[in-house]
Amino acid sequence: MRFFTFLFCGFISLSIYAKHSDIERFTVYSNVHGVSISTIGKHKVNSFWIEGEDGVIVIDTQWLLSDADIVLNHIADTVSQPITDILITHPHTDHFGGIQAFIDASPRKPIVHAGFDTARSIQHDEQGFLSSRKKQFTDNITSAVTIDHVLDDDQSFQIQGIEFNTITFRGNEAVATTLFYIASHDALFTGDMVNNDTMPIFYQGNIDGWIEQLEALKDRFPAETILFPGHGKPGRANELISRQLDVLKTYRNSIAASLFEHGTVNVTAMAQDIIARHPEYRQTAGIASVNAVVEQNILWILEDWRVKTSSASDLEGF
Ligand SMILES: [Zn+2]
């Protein structure tokens, strides 16, 4: 096991590339790096990479092949070793759409690892996300993905001398999310189960289940754990999980209170109120505005709760 230097001193060591205000680079440990790229709307997508003994491990691979190429350039800046392994946290295209660029850039095909549900969903395009995004992005997104190593819900495995642990939760931001924990670094990669300053999306979610899962996650990891989100800057786990819980509870409590008092929800007014209470949150998934995301979220939660509404929810795909 090589020696890992911890660079996190009260706050994330962050360098912002002056030439590209839509690209942010993170270095938290001497051998753990990340980059956030925003080319579609204000949707910032993270990829992380870890330098192992003889190769590089990538976690989540961007939405577009052209964005994946930017990550590859950043990886080449930090390390000369090849990419040997790719981990995918959940089956939304903004986390695996760029994977083919990483595969094509590697001398030997990297091993692709994902949880059982993520593997199933991506390989069969169960929700139609990939075919929908293929129409939008044409040849700038991967055509098909094969998962080489299907992971159990709670297992440990070694890559390049580093031990990873999986923690899988179903029915949150995605149909399932597999979190990766590296005990040697006290580092937790959460996909979109926990994001930073990014509006959650309730398209596939069960808000009550997601809240319960986050409470469990918060109890499980100490305050010092560093959390690497799917979108937004890395930070302390307890802080980021608390903020994620806070925004989810705003939605749940606002909708529940309105239904209790009035039997209905004024979607436009409630969306404005939620945005006013969380003004720093950005829009997600390429949806046109924060307002559109929040209004859509309210409708999805009502649908999930089987509350009859006059407006139908609508989404092309992730
Ligand atoms: Zn995402």
CA 219 – ligand 1 centroid, Å = 24
CA 161 – ligand 1 centroid, Å = 28
CA 221 – ligand 1 centroid, Å = 22
CA 148 – ligand 1 centroid, Å = 22
CA 268 – ligand 1 centroid, Å = 25
Please write the tens of the pLDDT for every residue from 243-271. 999 999 999 999 999 999 999 999 999 99
CA 185 – ligand 1 centroid, Å = 24
Residue spans of the domains in the chain: they are 13-251
Q: What predicted TM-score, i.e. pTM, was given to this entire model?
A: 0.91
3-state secondary structure (DSSP) of residue 41: coil
H-helix or E-strand containing 176?
strand 176-182
Which residue would you say has higher pLDDT here, 216 or 308? Answer: 216
CA 25 – ligand 1 centroid, Å = 17
Residue 223 in this model has a pLDDT that exceeds 90: no
Please write the tens of the pLDDT for every residue from 121-175. 999 999 999 999 999 999 999 999 999 999 999 999 999 999 999 999 999 999 9
80-103 burial string, b = 16+ CB within 10 Å, else e? eeebbbbbbbbbbbbbbbbbbbbb
CA 3 – ligand 1 centroid, Å = 32
Residue owning tokens 């590089």: 56
Distance (Å, whole) CA 111 – CA 160: 12
pLDDT of residue 15: 41
Region of 202 (left: φ > 0; alpha: ψ -120 to 50; beta: rest) is alpha
Distance (Å, whole) CA 53 – CA 30: 13
CA 183 – ligand 1 centroid, Å = 24
44-73 burial string, b = 16+ CB within 10 Å, else e? bbbbbbbbbeebbbbbbbbbbbebbebbbe
| Ligand 1 ion: residues within 5 Å (CB) | 94, 192, 230
Cα–Cα–Cα angle for 8, 12, 15, nearest 5°?
A: 120
CATH 3.60.15.10 fits 13-251, yes or no: yes
